[in-house]
């Protein structure tokens, strides 16, 4: 189950700093939106506003008919942060169970969730015994275990090497086709964003401003060969140009 996300005039100021200038964005249920831009431009702040972890200075976030706070209470959200949230000595299966316990959702089997995520035989392993790629899958499995309507992901693959990163991206794309979710996904990796997203929010270097929204009108899940597609190449080059231009404009 996926839900639409409505961002209406949402801004956030920290003291004198505009982490996010007033922003409007309508995200359809099941849509994948990537947030790209230089460090400090407000990407994490936007995720935290949707997650109800930070309050807006102005405006309102809606998840379906719920406010962000109601959505949080109803456990409609799943959050994956940049640093793996799994403690080194914790077992993979316990991590998934913990998420379900917090969400108050019983009745489906944590071992099955891990099997679905390609982690059969690793359920009892502790986090420190798992590879980076496996750990990230546990992380994402935990965030998805209670079947949230919206997934908020902050640079979830940044700890992985390039090959693993592509592999997990492809796996995640297929996974979303099976269990659709609305996704907000922060990444510094332009190719990854173009590969996975329906739309890219490209932030400008001056903080808190969305410079352009770029659409990738190609159905998901996408075949790995899409990387060689002229449309992919053109969109990635356009986004790269936007980011370089904005960075230059500031210096
Ligand atoms: N809790 C906070 N207190 C003060 N300033 C903050 C806080 N969170 C973010 N900021 C500032 O807001 C801006 C945007 O930060 P952030 O959303 O983390 O950017 P990004 O994720 O794009 O790197 C930065 O200038 C950052 O220093
Ligand atoms: Mg950030």
Which structural domain range is residue 137 located in?
Answer: 85-147
Which contiguous run of DSSP H or E holds residue 178?
A: helix 162-178
Which contiguous run of DSSP H or E holds residue 204?
A: none
Whether pTM > 0.85 for this model: the answer is yes
Residue 249 pLDDT greater than 70, yes or no: no
pLDDT for 85:
66
Residue 133 pLDDT greater than 90, yes or no: no
pLDDT for 246:
59
Is 44 inside any structural domain? yes
- Please indicate, yes or no, whether residues 163 and 227 belong to a single structural domain of this protein: yes
Is 184 inside any structural domain? yes
Strands 66-67 and 77-80: unpaired
Is 176 inside any structural domain? yes
Residue finishing a domain among 96, 124, 147:
147
Which one has a higher pLDDT value, 42 or 83? 42
Q: Domain tally for the chain?
A: 2
Which of 77-86, 89-98, 159-168, 231-240 has maximum average pLDDT? 231-240
Q: Are 171 and 119 in contact (CB under 8 A)?
A: no
Six token digits for residue 179: 């269990």
pLDDT for 31:
98
Of the pLDDT bands very low, low, confident and very high (cuts 50, 70, 90), residue 84 is: low
pLDDT for 155:
92
Residue finishing a domain among 102, 119, 147:
147
Residue 22 carries which DSSP code? E
Distance from C-alpha of 195 to C-alpha of 215, rounded to nearest angstrom: 11
- Please indicate, yes or no, whether residues 69 and 105 belong to a single structural domain of this protein: no
Distance from C-alpha of 138 to C-alpha of 120, rounded to nearest angstrom: 11
- If one residue of 15, 16, 17 were mutated to test the ligand 1 pocket, choosing by the most ligand atoms within 8 A of its CB, it would be 17
Ligand 1 centre distance from Cα of residue 141 (Å): 27
- Range of lowest pLDDT (33-47, 87-101, 120-134, 158-172): 87-101
Look up the CATH number of the domain holding residue 219: 3.40.50.300
Sign, Cα dihedral of 72, 75, 77, 79 = positive
Of the pLDDT bands very low, low, confident and very high (cuts 50, 70, 90), residue 67 is: very high
Residue finishing a domain among 96, 121, 147:
147
- Please indicate, yes or no, whether residues 64 and 167 belong to a single structural domain of this protein: yes
Mean pLDDT value across residues 143-147: 83
Is 136 inside any structural domain? yes
- Please indicate, yes or no, whether residues 127 and 107 belong to a single structural domain of this protein: yes
Task: Encode pLDDT of 180-218 as tens digits.
Answer: 999 999 999 999 999 999 999 999 988 889 999 999 999
pLDDT for 104:
67
Residue nearest to atom 7 of ligand 1 (CA): 14
Residue with tokens 């949707």: 50
The overall longest dimension of the chain from CA atoms, in Å, is: 55
- Please indicate, yes or no, whether residues 138 and 184 belong to a single structural domain of this protein: no
- Please indicate, yes or no, whether residues 187 and 100 belong to a single structural domain of this protein: no
Ligand 2 centre distance from Cα of residue 115 (Å): 31
Closest CA to 92 of 61, 128, 41: 128
Give the atom of ligand 1 at the shortest distance from the alpha carbon of 42. Answer: 17
Is 46 inside any structural domain? yes
- Please indicate, yes or no, whether residues 63 and 161 belong to a single structural domain of this protein: yes
Of the pLDDT bands very low, low, confident and very high (cuts 50, 70, 90), residue 244 is: confident
Q: Which residues of 66-99 are buried (b: 16+ CB within 10 A; e: fewer)?
A: bebeebbeebbbbbbbeebbbeeeebbbbbbbbb
- If one residue of 10, 38, 42 were mutated to test the ligand 1 pocket, choosing by the most ligand atoms within 8 A of its CB, it would be 42
Mean pLDDT value across residues 49-71: 97
- Please indicate, yes or no, whether residues 195 and 227 belong to a single structural domain of this protein: yes
For all residues of the chain together, what is the average pLDDT?
Answer: 89
Is 35 inside any structural domain? yes
Is 23 inside any structural domain? no
pLDDT for 234:
98
Residues with CB under 6 A from ligand 1: 14, 17, 19, 39-45, 207
Sign, Cα dihedral of 175, 117, 196, 167 = negative
- Please indicate, yes or no, whether residues 183 and 195 belong to a single structural domain of this protein: yes
- Please indicate, yes or no, whether residues 154 and 43 belong to a single structural domain of this protein: yes
Is 203 inside any structural domain? yes
- Please indicate, yes or no, whether residues 121 and 141 belong to a single structural domain of this protein: yes
pLDDT for 183:
98
Closest CA to 211 of 187, 183, 234, 239: 239
- Please indicate, yes or no, whether residues 251 and 168 belong to a single structural domain of this protein: yes
């Amino acid at each position: 189950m996926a839900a639409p996300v409505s961002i209406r005039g949402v801004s956030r100021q920290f003291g004198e700093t505009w982490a996010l200038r007033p922003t409007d964005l309508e995200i359809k249920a099941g849509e994948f939106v990537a947030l790209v831009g230089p460090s400090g431009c407000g990407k994490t702040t936007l995720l935290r506003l949707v997650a109800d972890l930070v309050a807006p200075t102005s405006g309102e976030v809606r998840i379906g008919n719920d406010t962000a706070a109601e959505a949080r209470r109803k456990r409609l959200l799943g959050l994956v942060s940049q640093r793996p949230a799994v403690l080194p000595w914790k077992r993979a299966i316990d991590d998934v169970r913990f998420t379900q316990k917090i969400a108050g959702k019983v009745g489906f089997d944590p071992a099955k969730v891990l099997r679905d995520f390609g982690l059969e035989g690793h359920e009892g392993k502790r986090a420190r015994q798992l590879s980076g790629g496996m750990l990230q899958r546990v992380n994402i499995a935990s965030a998805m275990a209670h079947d949230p309507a919206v997934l908020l992901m902050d640079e979830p693959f940044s700890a992985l090497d390039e090959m693993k990163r592509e592999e997990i991206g492809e796996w995640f794309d297929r996974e979303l086709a099976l269990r659709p979710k609305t996704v907000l996904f922060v990444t510094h990796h332009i190719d990854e964003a173009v590969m996975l997203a329906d739309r890219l929010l490209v932030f400008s270097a001056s903080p808190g401003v969305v410079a352009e929204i770029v659409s990738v009108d190609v159905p998901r899940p996408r075949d790995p060969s899409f990387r060689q597609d002229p449309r992919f190449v053109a969109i990635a080059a356009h986004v790269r140009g936007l980011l370089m231009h904005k960075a230059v404009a500031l210096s």
